[in-house]
Structure 1
Amino acid sequence: MCCKFPLWYKTFFDFEDHFSIFNLTEHSLLLVTLDFSQNMGQLPGVSSGKVIILVICFVKISYGNFCTDDVDECRLQPNACQNGGTCLNTCNGYKCICVNGWSGPDCSENIDDCAAEPCTAGSTCIDRVASFVCSCPPGKTGLLCHVDDACISNPCKMGAQCETNPIDGKFICTCPSGYKGRTCVEDIDECVIGTNPCENGGLCINTEGSFTCTCALGFGGTNCEGNIGDCLNHRCQNGATCIDGVNTYICQCPAEWTGPFCTDDVDECRLQPNACQNGGTCHNVHNGYNCVCVNGWSGPDCSENIDDCAAEPCTAGSTCIDRVASFVCSCPPGKTGLLCHVDDACISNPCKMGAQCETNPINGKFICTCPSGYKGKTCAEIDKCVIGPNPCENGGSPVSALQVTPVHTVRHQ
């Protein structure tokens, strides 16, 4: 139990028969009644027969019905300790454990590390948190400015950086590229140490503190690392693409051109024997070729069949069938002819004896092709020279009247 009874409570406790305490507001307000009706001559300044009422307010520093539980200030005040300090709760309070460099009840005070005057006389101490820095006067160096500055005489050459060893006081030179030695006065021959710094076959030439490269043709740069662009002034023509090489370039020509600079026309007719289809004739021209198509074909390569039915040459009611450079009319019943424009004279079957009937496409009349042994316009007449016994006597050969050739007799006088 951390809390103690206050002094006034002990005093009143001695006179417990003469007072009472009333808790009006828990832990914050007390109403105390003192009855001095008798025997109160012991209390200085108080007469017997009087009643005194005291109202006492107090700050709540503890918890519990009887003020026996300690308040954890570290939990109620998360930032009670500053600058990384650790808060430790104690009986009726707290304390801070500060990190290095800080002090005070709440670790808010920076400890003065320069108080002990650690820097050498003549230097300036600069306080920091848990440390200090000595600002040295000319000629002094080191953590405490206790070492003579060996760099004040500029022993390092060629722009080298000079530092003084804080232990032995000697200078240390950090040499720039191309130099070596204690004071950086020795030239480094970059051409003989390690690999050749000049790339792509370049020639290395040592110089004071450095080197130069004589590059092979086609290369440039400090170390000959870059390929010189040869396409800057190229001679490629006709839309060709220049492709850079090493000290040269090539021209990538479009399909229609050839040659070193794409100035020669490509003979597509020779390179593409089938450039023109369906019997078309290929003619090479500048930057291309032309096809001369045979009748019935068209298009750039003669692959398109000309539609001969496009003009609707067949008579209405018939069907036009397209072919190459021609067409055929498919006629409905009762019509015939190339364009189905003639009435079919064979529809009435004028030819007899199984003769084949055709309609003359010009005049529309029927034509009968008679079988053997028959003749006439409709093949209804019998050809006696073919059917039956030979009508010609004494070995004569029968000749159809249709085959007789007139004989002309020449008389001699």
Structure 2
Amino acid sequence: MKMYFILHHHFDFFIFTFFVSSLLVIAGTSHDKLHPAVDHCFPNPCQNQAICRNRGNGYSCFCVPGFQGAHCQIDVNECVSQPCRNGATCVDRVGRFSCVCSPGFTGTTCEVQTDECQSEPCQNGGRCHSYAEGFRCTCLPGFQGHRCKINTDECQEQPCQNGALCIDGVNGYSCDCSHTAFAGRHCETPLSQCFSDPCINSATCRDNQGNYTCECRPGFEGRHCEIRISSSSSSSRACMHGGSCIERSWQDSDAAEPGGYPQSQAAGFTCLCPPGTTGSLCQDLMNLCESGPCQNGGKCENQVGGYTCHCLKQSQGGVLYGGADCGVKLVGCEGHECQNHGSCSPFLLDETHGYTCSCTPGYTGPLCYTPTTFSFERRGYLLLHNPLLDPELTCNVTLSFKTVLPRALLFQRNIRGLLLSLELEGGQLRLTLRREHSDVAEAESQILEFPHNVTDGEWYSVEAVLTNWALSLKLLDDAGICGDQSCYRKVLVQRTIVGLEASPQNTFIGGTLENPNGSSESSAFPFIGCMRDVFVDWQLVVPEEWLSDSAVNVSPGCSHRDRCVDEPCQNGGSCVNLWQSYQCQCVRPYEGHDCEEEHVTARFGNEDHHSFAAFSITDDLGQNLSVSMFLRTRRGGGLLLGLANSNSSYLHMWLEDGKVTV
């Protein structure tokens, strides 16, 4: 049975006297049948948790693994036989040993040589060669470095001429001649004077011995045909769909326009229709999609003056097509492999092939080389200084995180005298906006919360926005945790809490500076876990770009292993994952780090003898006191417990008819 009670009393000196009398532990027999015998095992002479057994006039000790000797007092050194191989270090433990392997080896006794190339450390197609001390990369042409990460810059020798832009590629380069008057591989060939299309309004350009002339269409004049011959306002309104109205005379009306135009319109103007329109007033739209100009499955959209082909985004047999008519095979991804499982999308822009890499979460960069993941393994923070660019209240922070700790600070931002904090409280997200230098308990604040647990060790993404006098919190629900409920909260900011200060805008990620007087509530619960893809005001936070004094106890990458998977808690204890460690919640009567220790038991009334235990406690135990115990007996009555101080005995607890009475 278990007894539990609470006493409310205050006193300076306690004398606790436990009386246990008239109790006899009987294991299925009566007192008359018990024969006195000497117990050589009491007290237990065996050491190191060994089991003592009486044997005639003596005793024997049964040792637990790892100990030996008459009293199990000798700790066996399992490392004497030198079981660890390949230069490993042997660590002696209780009843076993473990090996700390040298680099390049693994296994129980470090007998297995590891293959350093299994993790594919060589990038950009480099070949990996493993050997005992490590690995070596053989890089493809165009790359260099220990891991072939560095793309050789072929533009260093400036091969492009006449001021052209050199674009570095993989094992090669290209010259952008678009801003010069030259063409060719190195922009070495002068272009025609008409190459830049100097003539406008559909005029024809003619080369003329290093110069050019423009032959204007009827209705235009000037060096570049930029001057429109005046026309009446009524005539200008007659041409539809952007057609140009051209003033004409009676004499050249039939000769100037091939095929002529109706005499009823011979009032001095004609319409110059844009492509895709027809009719005397450009009133008819031509369906340019009827001829099926879009190739390779592209969809045609008819427009005024032309059409647009929407090319397929999914490849046909591994090939994508682009261009005006979807007839050009896109080859921009050839020779450009996106790393870390990123996907490559080729494109065609101004007849130039290119590519973009869509990176998986945790990576960024042109080829998804750069990791964005970092971790907090103990109290620390990442400090970002944000310039005060906008006089209005504006802040946008987006981040992904994973942790198992229910209380933590994700970020804190001070802006114009206000403090914006995103925290984990009871495993749930809470966004708070309040005055910066006010008491947390009494401050007027605005709070947004989500009733979902996000501390189960999985990745979650969240966006906090303060703009246009509105505060919003959004859980980017890729895992479907919100279900039928909304993953978005929004509230208007109360003008009464807004400050007028123009202090620097600092953003703390994962924790804050510790307050010397210990009054900072958020600093008591730092974030322990991993983060990735952190955007502060739309700027990505990249670990390799941090300033050395801005990151305290922050490590690149994410290292986490659930220690509870090994089931370290013994005797029915429950394991609680603490990210970098674990905690065992033991059931009574067990205790210890792994619930491996058992409370010492006491036996009263052996052989029907009168027995008791008395304890004097001089410590101040405070206002509340609780006492509990485990009890096992076959007697229905007897004194269990007595409490007394210097004046009197004020509490008795006993068994009466097998029931506890106080």
Q: Which has the higher strand share?
A: 2
TM-score by length of 2: 0.21
TM-score by length of 1: 0.32
